[in-house]
Amino acid sequence: MRRSDSGADWTTADQEGLAFLGEVEAVLAASRVLIGVAVRSLAPVEDTVTLTQFRALVIIASRGPMHLAALAEAMQVHPSNATRACDRLVASGLADRRDNPADRRHLLLTLTDQGRALVDSVMDRRRAAIRQILHRMPLGDRTQVAAGFTRFAAAGGESEQTDLWSIGWTTESPAMHEVSGSTQADPPT
């Protein structure tokens, strides 16, 4: 049993609690790096869309055509905020509102080709930046980071890669390929 600075014995629960705090700090440090990647990937389009508008584009891109109430719920904002964001996206030619053949009471929001290109360009910049970071790590560490982030994303509610492919978020199948003696998934585009 380890002793604290005050001389008191630390229980296993105390030690596990300290280890957990260290894990939280490690994830926070990684999140700062990822936030930096995200911010830099958005810089070229900051005069075109706000962060909220980009978020709406990504949700529509990842989930497919949706009505405004579903978008507001996915964004966790009041419907009026989602309406304003969509009005601006439609006015700028990045999104479109269409009649919903299944329910004429709701319009469907879709991405235009220009909106899809904007989302793709930002995601391409993010992938390139993440590739650069990963290439600076040893292969074993990259494998562990990827496995850990996969589980972290699942715990946080992120859709499975195969689900994203099936709804058009990526343009390539999530099939596995042999690359330089190691198995890697096709990079999403």
Instruction: Output the pLDDT for position 97.
Output: 92
Question: Residue 23 is which amino acid?
Answer: E
Q: In this predicted structure, what is the pLDDT of residue 44?
A: 96
Per-residue pLDDT tens over the stretch 6-46: 656 767 777 777 888 999 999 999 999 999 999 999 999 99
Rounded Cα gap, residues 181 and 88, in angstroms? 48
Q: What is the distance between the alpha carbons of residues 56 and 74, in angstroms, rounded to a whole number? A: 9
pTM above 0.85, yes or no: no
In the chain, the percentage of residues whose pLDDT exceeds 90 is: 61
Looking at beta carbons, which pairs linking 104-108 to residues 24 or more positions away fall under 8 Å? 106/67, 106/68, 106/69, 107/67, 107/68, 108/65, 108/66, 108/67
Q: What is the pLDDT of residue 58?
A: 93
The helix or strand, by DSSP H or E, that contains position 185, with its residue range, turns out to be strand 182-185
pLDDT band at 185 (very low <50, low <70, confident <90, very high): very low
**Which has more pLDDT, 66 or 15?**
66
* Nearest in space to 112 (alpha carbons), one of 93, 129, 131, 134: 93
Report which of residues 159 and 51 the model is more confident about. Answer: 51
Q: What domains can you pick out in the chain, each with its CATH number?
A: 9-158 (1.10.10.10)
Q: What is the pLDDT of residue 125?
A: 96
Find where tokens 């995200």 sit. Answer: 38
**pLDDT confidence of 160, banded at 50, 70, 90?**
low
C-alpha torsion sign, points 29, 35, 41, 46: negative
Estimate to the nearest angstrom the gap between the alpha carbon of 27 and the chain centroid.
16
Q: Which long-range contacts (CB under 8 A, 24 or more apart) does 57-62 make?
A: 57/89, 57/94, 57/95, 57/111, 57/115, 57/118, 57/119, 58/119, 60/95, 60/109, 60/110, 60/111, 60/115, 61/111, 61/115, 61/116, 61/119, 61/168, 61/169, 62/159, 62/164, 62/167, 62/169
**CA angle, 75 as apex, 173 and 111 as ends, to 5°?**
50
